[in-house]
Amino acid sequence: MNDKLPISVVMIARNEERQLPRSLSSVAGWVREIIVVINDCTDNTAAVARQFGAIVSEHPFKNLREQKQFALDQAGQPWVLGLDADEVVSDELRRELLVFFRRAKADVNGAWLPRRLWFMDKWVRHGDNYPDRVLRLFRREKATAGGVEEHDRFDVEGRTVFLAHDLLHYSHKSIADHMAKINFFTDFFARRMIAQGRKCSPLSAILHSVWRFFRAYVLRRGFLDGFAGWYLASVAAFVAFIKYAKLCEHQIITKEPGQHER
């Protein structure tokens, strides 16, 4: 493609040599710049990224938000596409982006992309996991990395629009891989709530869990995805329970002396 889009793809990665080819091959050749920021890699992540023409920078990791802000600061094009190593721009989305830039309006500063999850050898199309819209395309000077430590995002100033075609998400390699991430995310959540002085009761933990399952499986029709839908709704409920249970645990073990039950 001779006329590349004025986009910098920005990505952070650690030990992602296996996932990078699928992700970067979906953007290489039609964007003007690819930026990959790495940290503490013990594999060939950097070399693989350079095979696709990426500019690779090493930066110490503090948290997701700060790492993505550093990557964003390296971008040299007027538009940025934020991409994770486990995400792929579908052919349909690429064609839609071509149309988007031909018709881009001056007052549009960003675009939300629907994200579709591949799990248990199928595409998940319901529940909490679809369309899972993410704000990933934006004007560089209008955006900053935001969110919280366990769930970062890009914040964009001004008007944004919704695109129709999917960003493909290969997030969970297996149930074991999915389970391994739970402590990481729930610990961040509990520490943030504790820092804010938030309180929790066992009943609150249970109600949050029940609500998350009902919303994902019933209201958002996760049941239409078969066993994968049941599993994802159940794990969403479990994660909600663990997040608030950890907050309850902190309250119990930090009681003033004499307040513990004998």
Among 45-49, 83-87, 199-203, 240-244, the minimum mean pLDDT is found in 199-203
52 and 139 both lie in a single domain:
yes
Cβ atoms of residues 7 and 72 within 8 Å? no
Last residue of a domain, one of 169, 197, 228: 169
pLDDT number for residue 172? 80
Cβ atoms of residues 143 and 154 within 8 Å? yes
Would strands 134-139 and 79-82 be described as parallel, antiparallel, or unpaired?
Answer: antiparallel
pLDDT number for residue 251? 85
159 and 47 both lie in a single domain:
yes
Cβ atoms of residues 22 and 170 within 8 Å? yes
91 and 197 both lie in a single domain:
no
Domain presence at residue 158: yes
pLDDT number for residue 150? 66
pLDDT number for residue 2? 60
Mean pLDDT, residues 5-22 taken together: 97
CATH number of the domain bearing residue 114: 3.90.550.10
Question: What is d(CA 34, CA 174) in angstroms, rounded to the nearest whole number?
Answer: 29
Banded model confidence at residue 152, pLDDT cuts 50, 70, 90: confident
pLDDT number for residue 111? 97
Q: 223 Cβ partners below 8 Å, 6+ apart?
A: 126, 217, 229, 230
Domain presence at residue 125: yes
Give percent of the chain with pLDDT exceeding 70.
96
Using CB atoms within 10 Å of the CB of residue 196, give its burial: 0 to 12 exposed, 13 to 18 middle, 19+ buried.
Answer: exposed
pLDDT number for residue 61? 94
Domain presence at residue 204: yes
Residue 186 CB neighbours (<10 A): 21
48 and 73 both lie in a single domain:
yes
pLDDT number for residue 179? 84
Last residue of a domain, one of 135, 169, 203: 169
Question: What is d(CA 59, CA 36) in angstroms, rounded to the nearest whole number?
Answer: 10
118 and 27 both lie in a single domain:
yes
How many domains does one find in the chain?
2
DSSP symbols for 66-110: HHHHHHHHH--SSEEEE--TTEEE-HHHHHHHHHHHHS--TTEEE
76 and 192 both lie in a single domain:
no
pLDDT number for residue 57? 97
Q: Is the pLDDT of residue 262 over 50?
A: no
Last residue of a domain, one of 169, 195, 212: 169
142 and 39 both lie in a single domain:
yes
Closest C-alpha to 241, from 193, 189, 205: 205
Joined together, the tokens standing for residue 262 give 């004998």
179 and 146 both lie in a single domain:
no
pLDDT number for residue 43? 97
What amino acid is encoded at 57 in this protein? S
Q: What angle do CA 241, 247, 250 make, to 5 degrees?
A: 135
Mean pLDDT, residues 99-118 taken together: 93
123 and 20 both lie in a single domain:
yes
202 and 234 both lie in a single domain:
yes
Q: What angle do CA 104, 109, 112 make, to 5 degrees?
A: 90
Joined together, the tokens standing for residue 88 give 């792929």
Q: Is the pLDDT of residue 70 over 90?
A: yes
- State which residues form the domain around 11: 5-169
Q: Whole-prediction pTM value? A: 0.88
Domain presence at residue 28: yes
Calculate the average pLDDT of the chain.
92
Cα dihedral sign, 186-191-195-198: positive
Domain presence at residue 259: no
Q: Is the pLDDT of residue 103 over 90?
A: no
Joined together, the tokens standing for residue 167 give 């960003």
Q: Is the pLDDT of residue 1 over 80?
A: no
Joined together, the tokens standing for residue 26 give 């979906």
pLDDT number for residue 194? 87
